Chain A
């Protein structure tokens, strides 16, 4: 299986899942709509990429053990704090743009995903502009920066550092798991596990 595409799909599934945690509790109603919509897009992207890799996207999305996921630790973090959430959205979108651009020539689906991501980037950039002088936001970017580097390949990190305006540091790499990931996985797969094997929905 293509590890790069599996990592992309897992990132999109898990960031979609984490973003959806804001549904109903965002600080302003407009962001409740925005986060729900972004989450829907990201999970849609995950599904489309899983379908490139397998005939059964649901099985690939939900039937693996937590240690078999390839998602970057950035997307796993449970961040129920707005400044951190916006910092992650912004860092993730900058990293995601670099990695998707590198795939566009060989994977036509990546170009399609890229069209939709343009709106996520506008949203993230709008928030970054608004919060860039806030100490809480700056601290959150500082804290999450090593995680953001782990989203892209080592050869793409110099470009990411230049876009974000920071120095490269040691990345938190794929294959490591945040403590909160097991609980996310447990909840995410709960309904599927509760149904008898072969259940049709």
Chain B
């Protein structure tokens, strides 16, 4: 009989389709896993609504946990604060500036370069190649980088 822990572990092996360095669990889109009498129920909450990866993620969950019933919850339960600490570190290591916690971001407006750690960065474009990214430029190490938007 499958356990909830095994389901969580399996879901942690599914990479984000657009940022494969982090898993769906790191991304915080798995809201709950419920196992009762061998039946698996997974609650999945989308990140950005226009993201074409959503359908892909849902199918990846169904493939990884055969027979699971995946419920898409479209409330306001996901924000970038749901990305785990491990997920943030993986993003940074991949040269992808992780989103600052909402409260910090609203007060500080500081954006740190994922390569050299400098806060001397400037906005190039609020929008980028996917809905979740902005484009910034580090004036210290002269490196453009992608910033995960805080939402």
Using CB atoms and an 8 Å cutoff, list the residues of chain A in contact with chain B. Answer: 30, 33-34, 36-38, 40-45, 47-48, 51-52, 108-109, 111-113, 115-116, 118-119, 122-123, 126
Contacts and interface: CB of A to CB of B under 8 A. Distances in A.
Nearest to B72: A51
Interface of B: 46, 48-51, 74-76, 78-79, 124-129, 131, 134-135, 149, 151
Contact of A119 (B49, B74, B124, B149): B149
A63 B135 CA distance: 37
Given A112-B74, A115-B76, A115-B79, A41 B124 contact: no
A123 B125 CA distance: 9
The prevalent SS among residues of B at the interface is loop
A119 B50 contact: no
5 nearest A-B pairs in the assembled complex, by CB-CB distance = A44-B50, A37-B127, A108-B75, A111-B76, A44-B49
Given A109-B75, A111-B76, A42 B151 contact: no
Contacts of A48: 46, 49, 74
A45 B129 CA distance: 18
Contacts of B128: 33, 37
Nearest to A41: B50
Contacts of A33: 125, 127-129, 135
7 contacts: A34-B125, A45-B50, A51-B74, A112-B74, A119-B134, A119-B149, A126-B126
A30 B124 contact: yes
Q: Which residue, B79, B125, B127, B128, has most C-beta atoms of chain A within 10 A?
A: B127
Nearest to B125: A30
B131 A116 contact: yes
A111 B74 CA distance: 10
